């Protein structure tokens, strides 16, 4: 519990400055994948729309958002968008084993980067958990979403599809 509070306070203190701005090129975003012995750099995904989602195992709304985002991804692939987008999750747990345990309970089919030192979270200056950034195929941040409620999934999907279709 103290570790969770310390992490939350650290995140809150770090993000006093302005968050990544809409219209700006996404900061360099790369890291070690949590479940595989390989790294991921979102530059490799240029040409695709990317939903970059920051989360942690101690985040209550994340228990709902990760499985729902995974189902949305499955639905969009089935709807004919398989090569147009990717969801990339950035986990902020100090202990990667806590995140791995979470993902065993709530598995996802998209890549998860481990950020135990909160370097990417600091770079993006996220204000709350979870926070997502929608990045267009040219690497520009076009939308930011803070927090998560199940009722917001349709808006996330709408924005993602709009961006894939070039309707920003």
Into how many domains does the chain fold? 1
117-157 residue pLDDT tens: 999 999 999 999 999 999 999 999 999 999 999 999 999 99
Whole-model pTM over 0.85: yes
Residues in the chain: 168
41-76 burial by CB neighbour count: b if 16+ within 10 A, else e? ebeebeebbbbbbbbbbbbebbbbbbebbbebbeeb
- Catalytic-labelled residue, pool 42, 51, 52, 59: 59
Q: Assess whether 59 carries a catalytic annotation.
A: yes
**Residue 120: closest CA among 56, 45, 44:** 56
Q: Assess whether 62 carries a catalytic annotation.
A: yes
45-54 residue pLDDT tens: 999 999 999 9
Q: How many whole angstroms separate alpha carbon 150 and alpha carbon 114?
A: 25
Instruction: Give Rg (Cα) of the chain.
Output: 15
Give the structural domain span for 47: 2-164
**Percent of the chain whose pLDDT exceeds 70:** 89
Beta strands in the chain, from DSSP E residues, in sequence order: 30-33, 39-41, 49-55, 85-91, 112-114, 131-135, 141-146
Higher local confidence (pLDDT), 167 or 148: 148
CATH label of the domain that carries residue 12:
3.40.30.10
- Catalytic-labelled residue, pool 26, 34, 62, 134: 62
């Amino acid at each position: 519990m103290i570790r969770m509070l310390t992490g939350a306070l650290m995140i809150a203190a770090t993000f006093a400055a302005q968050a990544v701005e809409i219209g700006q090129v996404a900061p360099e975003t790369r890291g070690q994948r949590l479940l595989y012995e390989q790294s991921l750099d979102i530059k490799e995904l240029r040409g695709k729309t990317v939903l970059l989602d920051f989360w942690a195992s101690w985040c209550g709304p994340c228990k709902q958002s990760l499985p729902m985002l995974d189902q949305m991804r499955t639905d969009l692939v089935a709807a004919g968008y398989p090569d147009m987008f990717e969801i990339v999750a950035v986990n902020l747990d100090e202990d990667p084993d806590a995140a791995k345990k979470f993902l065993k309970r709530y598995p996802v089919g998209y890549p998860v980067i481990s950020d135990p030192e909160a370097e990417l979270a600091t770079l993006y200056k996220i204000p709350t958990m979870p926070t997502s950034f929608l990045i267009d195929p040219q690497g520009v941040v076009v939308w930011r979403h803070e927090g998560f409620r199940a009722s917001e999934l349709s808006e996330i999907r709408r924005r993602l599809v709009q961006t894939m279709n070039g309707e920003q």
